[in-house]
Amino acid sequence: MLDTRPRITFDENGVCNACKWAQEKKQMDWSSRWQELVTICDEHRNPKGFDCIVPASGGKDSSYVAWKLKNELNMHPLTVTVSIPLPLEIGDANLNNFIEHGFDNVKISPNPVIMRELNRIGLVEQGRPLWGWMLSLQTSIFRLAAQMNIPLIFYGEEGESEYGGTDKLKHTPFYDVDYGINVYLSGNNPAQYADRFGEKALYWWTYPEDADKLKVAHWSYFENWVPHEHYLLARDKIGMKELSTRSPGTYCSYAQNDTSLYALHCYFMFLKFGFGRTSQDVGIDIRSGAISREEGLKLVEQYDDEKPNIKQFLDYYRMTEAEFEAVIDSYANKDILIKQNGKWVLRR
For 279-317, write each residue's pLDDT tens digit: 999 999 999 999 999 999 999 999 999 999 999 999 999
Q: State whether the Cα torsion 175-289-164-140 is positive or negative.
A: negative
**Domains defined for the chain, CATH in brackets:** 17-221 (3.40.50), 247-346 (no CATH)
Separation of alpha carbons 285 and 287, rounded Å: 6
Instruction: Tell whether the model's pLDDT for residue 194 goes beyond 90.
Output: no
List CB contacts of 232: < 8 A, sequence separation 6 or more: none
CA distances from 80 to 4, 223, 250, 317 (A): 33, 22, 28, 26
Instruction: Tell whether the model's pLDDT for residue 195 goes beyond 90.
Output: no
Instruction: Tell whether the model's pLDDT for residue 348 goes beyond 90.
Output: no
pLDDT at 144: 98
Of residues 167 and 104, more confidently modeled: 104
Separation of alpha carbons 24 and 286, rounded Å: 15
Residues 61-95 have pLDDT tens digits of 999 999 999 999 999 999 999 999 999 999 999 99
Parallel, antiparallel, or unpaired for β 104-108 and 77-82?
parallel
List CB contacts of 18: < 8 A, sequence separation 6 or more: 1, 8, 161, 162, 163, 164, 283, 287
CA distances from 285 to 19, 49, 58, 279 (A): 11, 39, 22, 10
CA dihedral 170, 174, 177, 182 (to 10 degrees): 10
- Model confidence at 138, in pLDDT bands (50, 70, 90)? very high
CA dihedral 85, 114, 207, 40 (to 10 degrees): -10
For residue 231, how many other CB atoms are within 10 A of its CB? 21
Q: What is the mean pLDDT of the chain?
A: 95
Mean of pLDDT values over 274-278 = 96
Crossing angle of helices 261-273 and 277-288, in 10° steps, is 90
pLDDT at 3: 93
- Model confidence at 187, in pLDDT bands (50, 70, 90)? confident
Reduced to 3 states (helix: H, G, I; strand: E, B; else coil), residue 208 is coil
Separation of alpha carbons 204 and 323, rounded Å: 29
Crossing angle of helices 277-288 and 17-26, in 10° steps, is 30
Residues 238-273 have pLDDT tens digits of 999 999 999 999 999 999 999 999 999 999 999 999
Separation of alpha carbons 255 and 59, rounded Å: 7
φ/ψ (deg, to 5) at 144? -65, -40
Instruction: Tell whether the model's pLDDT for residue 193 goes beyond 90.
Output: no
Q: State whether the Cα torsion 326-330-331-333 is positive or negative.
A: positive
pLDDT at 90: 97
Which 8-state DSSP code applies to residue 85?
Answer: S
Q: How many percent of the chain have pLDDT more than 70?
A: 100
Query: Are the CB atoms for 145 and 134 separated by under 8 Å?
Result: no
Separation of alpha carbons 305 and 270, rounded Å: 7
Q: How many CA atoms lie within 13 A of 58 on its CB side?
A: 29
Residues 313-347 have pLDDT tens digits of 999 999 999 999 999 999 999 999 999 999 999 99
